[in-house]
Amino acid sequence: MKLSHTQKELYNVSPMAWFIKYVLKYKEKVMTSPLFFGSLVEEGVNALLEGSDLESALIHFEELFISYDVNGKDECLKTSKNVKYSKADYQELLFTEEELILHKEMDHTEKAYYSLLRKGKMMITEFHDNILPNIKRTIAMQEPINIKNEYGDEIIGFADMIVEWKDGRILVLDLKTSASPYKKDAVLTEEKGSQTALYYEALKDKYKLDGAGFLVLEKKVRVRDPQMRSQILIDVPPEELIQETFDNFDKVFYDIRQAKFPCTAPVCNRFGKKCSNAGFCSSGGVDVTGLVRKEVK
Q: What single DSSP character describes residue 195?
A: H
- pLDDT at 284 (0 to 100): 86
The values of phi and psi at residue 113, to 5°, are -60, -50
CB atoms within 10 A of CB 62: 15
What is the DSSP pairing of strand 291-293 with strand 26-28?
Answer: antiparallel
- pLDDT at 280 (0 to 100): 87
- pLDDT at 41 (0 to 100): 97
Between vectors from CA 197 to CA 191 and to CA 198, what angle results, nearest 5°?
110
Q: What's the CA gap between 11 and 185, in Å, rounded?
A: 25
Q: Bigger pLDDT: 113 or 27?
A: 113
- pLDDT at 268 (0 to 100): 64
* Average pLDDT, integer, range 109-125: 96
Distance of CA 124 to the CA centre of its chain: 16
Q: What's the CA gap between 27 and 31, in Å, rounded?
A: 9
User: pLDDT tens for residues 148-160?
Assistant: 988 899 999 999 9
* Average pLDDT, integer, range 128-152: 95
The H or E element spanning position 257 is helix 239-257
pLDDT class of 20 with cuts at 50, 70, 90: very high
Q: What's the CA gap between 3 and 155, in Å, rounded?
A: 5
User: pLDDT tens for residues 186-233?
Assistant: 999 988 999 999 999 999 999 999 999 999 999 888 766 668 899 999
Q: In Å, how far are 1, 114, 146, 160, 256 from 153, measured between CA atoms?
A: 5, 44, 10, 23, 12
- pLDDT at 267 (0 to 100): 63
* Average pLDDT, integer, range 76-91: 94
- pLDDT at 279 (0 to 100): 86
3-state helix, strand, coil in the chain (%, to 5): 45, 25, 30
- pLDDT at 150 (0 to 100): 87
Q: What's the CA gap between 196 and 188, in Å, rounded?
A: 9
- pLDDT at 3 (0 to 100): 97
Domains and CATH numbers, the chain: 16-257 (3.90.320)
* Average pLDDT, integer, range 126-132: 97
pTM over 0.75: yes
**pLDDT at residue 173 tops 50:** yes
Residue ranges of alpha helices (H) inside 23-165 are 34-49, 54-64, 97-103, 108-126
* Average pLDDT, integer, range 227-243: 95
Q: What single DSSP character describes residue 134?
A: G
* Average pLDDT, integer, range 272-289: 82
- pLDDT at 296 (0 to 100): 53
- pLDDT at 282 (0 to 100): 84
Q: What mean pLDDT value characterizes the chain?
A: 92
pLDDT class of 297 with cuts at 50, 70, 90: very low
